[in-house]
Amino acid sequence: MAATAPLPRAPVSSPASRAALWPARSNLRTAAAPPAGTLGWRRRQPFPAVSITPASAQSTPPALAVDPEVEALLDSVKWDTKGLAVAIAQNVDTGAILMQGFANREALAATISTRKATFYSRSRSSLWTKGETSTNFINVHDIFLDCDRDSIIYLGTPDGPTCHTGAETCYYSSVYDALQGSKSSQERQVYTTLYSLEDTISKRKEEIVTEGSAKPSWTKKLLLDNQLLCSKIREEAGELIQTLLENEDRSRTASEMGDLLYHAMVLLSVKDVKMEEVLEVLRKRFSQSGVEEKASRKKS
């Protein structure tokens, strides 16, 4: 069988745009922690610059200096006839799908090296890094290929709203809402179960209980009474413990954990702490033993 000609690669950006794309940057690991109590988006320090091979005088745009192992991985991706693959950015903590674009070999190689989500613009025929204009970068923690190796997930943390409209993600238009005649709103988010609960608690917190109004919800009662909330958390924690001590069935354990998680999330709302912040703390402990983590905490 005759050898198959290699698939054409999408063109890369010009030397000037490359220089603007990857200026020298400091390492994320040296970034200072945000002030205590800081809410909302937290700017993270970028990762080191990618290595670029200088171009000759007459030449083609400069090429990325790619490690042989990275080159082999890039060869394993099933790029389409235009040398592209779908690339999806996903929030590592919330699981939210942030955006979808396309990547070619150079874009994926740049993302691996810089740990900034980088895509290939079909309209501009050049590479672009999410955030190069807005500074709302997506800091990549890991990259996944699907089982067919023809699509990519950039798993990372966003520095700010991902969508050019200012929305947290580009996905805020519900098909079912549209079918029911509702208009799209940037406030509409693609919430998973955990974040749907957090959103419901947040809405209850925003409600104003006026004299003569309808009976407040249980969530609202908890939000208004710290002593009641604390007593319920203790109660639910005790009931969860009992499912282990009394060898109760799995469904009972799941139910009691649900109760405890709900009441704990109400406390987080009272303290203006987002669930995403809690998950970020857990993620940062993955590479650290429990003993080391406790030893690193400041003694009060």
128-161 exposure pattern, b = at least 16 Cβ within 10 A, e = fewer: bbbbbeeebbbbbeebebeeeeebbbbbbbbbbb
pLDDT of residue 192: 80
**Which residue's structure tokens are 């919430």?**
191
pLDDT of residue 211: 55
With CA atoms as reference, report the closest residue to 266 among 213, 216, 224: 224
pLDDT of residue 191: 72
Phi, psi of 61 (to 5 degrees): -60, 155
| Weakly modelled stretches of the chain, pLDDT under 50 | 1-62, 300
Phi, psi of 167 (to 5 degrees): -75, 155
Decide: 130 and 162 in contact? Cβ < 8 Å: yes
C-alpha 28/C-alpha 25 separation (Å) is 9
With CA atoms as reference, report the closest residue to 278 among 216, 211, 195: 195
Exposed/middle/buried for residue 92 (C-beta within 10 Å: 0-12, 13-18, 19+) = buried
- Tell me the per-residue pLDDT of 252-283, one tens digit each, with 9 for 90 and over: 999 999 999 999 999 999 999 999 999 999 99
Decide: 189 and 198 in contact? Cβ < 8 Å: no
Instruction: For residue 155, give the H/E element and its range.
Output: strand 151-158
